[in-house]
Amino acid sequence: MKSNEINSTSGDGSIEDQLKSIGNRIKSLRIRSGNLSYEKFAHENNIGRMLLRRCETGKNVNMSSFLKIVTALDVTVEEFFQFPLDHKNHSGHH
């Protein structure tokens, strides 16, 4: 999978689907900020490249790693979860 492709979810609300939705949100915010390469974003923000990749592909990571990535995306946790996580709905900011 390319670093700018969104992961598909089955939409059944399972933990796995929720993790994929969070990963899609991370990826979407990274790309929206102008960072098309996850490797470059990881390097510039002192985040492990494989850690970022795991997050973006919906793998389970610890909370401190998640918070480091959210901080690097320059959003608060509240802003991160403010919009629908479904990648099919990109309504943008209000």
Give me the domains of the chain, ranges plus CATH numbers.
15-80 (1.10.260.40)
Q: What is the pLDDT of residue 61?
A: 94
Q: What is the pLDDT of residue 55?
A: 96
Express each pLDDT in 1-18 by its tens digit: 455 566 665 666 799 999
Express each pLDDT in 29-85 by its tens digit: 999 999 889 999 999 999 999 999 999 999 999 999 999 999 999 999 999 998 665
Long-range contacts of 2-9 (CB under 8 A, 24+ apart): 3/27, 3/36, 3/37, 3/38, 3/39, 3/53, 3/56, 4/31, 4/36, 6/87, 7/56, 7/57, 7/58, 7/87, 9/86, 9/87
Q: What is the pLDDT of residue 92?
A: 43
